[in-house]
Amino acid sequence: MEEVSTVFVGLDVHAQSTAIAVAHVRREAPRFVGTVGARLSELIKALDKLGEPSTLLIVYEAGPCGYTLVRELRVKGYRCEVVAPSLIARKPGERIKTDRLDALKLAALARSGDLTTVKVPDERDEAIRDLCRARVDAVKARLKARQQLKAMLLRHGRRYTGKSSWTAAHERYLATLGFEHPAQDIAFTEYRLAVSEADARVRRLTEALAQQIENWRMLAVVRALMTLRGLDLVAATTVVAELGDMRRFAHPRDLMGYLGLVPSEHSSGATRRLGAITKTGNGHARRVLVEAAWNYRFAARISRILQVRQEDQPAAVRAIAWRAQLRLCQRYRRLSARGMQPNKVCVAIARELAGFLWDLGHQVTPAMQQH
């Protein structure tokens, strides 16, 4: 936090209210100002009583209210930062949590410089991220609809014997099914319609995503990541939308930690114990990388699809992608040969894959920031 600030303001922001606390540079205890409604005008009126915008440093936790407030306050001339709630120190004995106490803590920690800020994304970047997450939600809804349809068939002893479900052959099989009671036929038809609508929704969002990124400033980074095995257009776009400009990470370990792919640790004295991965940071990008890691169980090769993706890429990008395949495929075989659980193998591969993402992210420069 900047030392020139004379007043530190902590906001505990909710959908219907905002609690305000203030901490001055040379005063021992922060002071609770009060609670205002959700309107920006109410908050500005309260902030005006605390000093000029240039003398205030305002902080609030990242959460479901997003980044609208920080953008609005910055337009008004206020210095405002969004902080990472998972990195806020909490005393083991604290058992009381209220909006008032949270605002006071934020003000005090802002004054002491013990808060970690998060990067506020560009509005266009956030729009692409929202579209990616909408597609993820659509895929989950489709999976649920399919499970419900299969559950009904299983209850009535209808088992599909084909190779794979949700293909053209499977659809023809479903069209031949009938039930003894008309009510069951209605239920079955509604389940099929739900699956069809879910499929259409996923297709629409996928097509919209491909169209929207054509003029995105991060398109060059997306195409560079697509040279890696396991990262198609949707996966690469999701990673870039969630991580932003990877040049903000000084070292690959910083990116791995941000993704929560590093092991937890509890060490004391001569004892060093490593546990499960921390799962901190961005879970959306972590999921994509773990899923992509599964593709490295096969031998390293440049498939026709990868060849097409790499055709217009610089030699340095293609070299990194091939180096990633050679290392990760070999690593996957070695870990599997040791008898490691497949899920743990994928996590280990995903952690190293993040290092290659970092390398590619430093090879390609995004376009100029959009306004």
Nearest to residue 324, comparing CAs of 257, 229, 226? 229
Computed from CA positions of residues 297, 301, 303, 305, in that sequence, does the dihedral angle turn out positive or negative? Answer: positive
**CA 176 – CA 183 distance, rounded (Å):** 17
**CA 260 – CA 271 distance, rounded (Å):** 23
The overall average pLDDT reported for the chain is: 93
pLDDT at 237: 98
Judged by DSSP in three states, 243 sits in helix
Contacts of 173 (CB under 8 A, 6+ apart): 160, 162
Alpha helices, H only, the chain:
40-48, 68-75, 99-112, 123-155, 168-175, 182-212, 219-225, 233-243, 252-258, 283-293, 304-310, 315-337, 342-363
Nearest to residue 127, comparing CAs of 209, 186, 198? 209
Structure confidence by residue, pLDDT tens digits, 119-173: 999 999 999 999 999 999 999 999 999 999 999 999 999 999 999 999 999 999 9
Q: Which two tokens stand for residue 136?
A: 């993820």
Mean pLDDT along residues 334-345: 96
**CA 283 – CA 7 distance, rounded (Å):** 35
pLDDT at 369: 57
Alpha helices, H only, 213-314:
219-225, 233-243, 252-258, 283-293, 304-310
**CA 135 – CA 143 distance, rounded (Å):** 12
**CA 197 – CA 263 distance, rounded (Å):** 41
Q: What length does the chain have? A: 371
Nearest to residue 236, comparing CAs of 360, 123, 342, 78? 360
**CA 254 – CA 358 distance, rounded (Å):** 10
pLDDT at 368: 65
Q: What is the pTM of this model?
A: 0.90
Amino acid at 120: V
Q: Which two tokens stand for residue 341?
A: 């659980």
Nearest to residue 153, comparing CAs of 176, 128, 137, 125? 176
Q: How far is CA 167 from CA 153, 178, 326, in A?
A: 17, 19, 34
Which of 34-38, 280-284, 294-298, 319-323 has the weakest average pLDDT?
Answer: 280-284
**CA 54 – CA 56 distance, rounded (Å):** 6
Q: What band does 89 get if pLDDT is binned at 50, 70 and 90?
A: confident
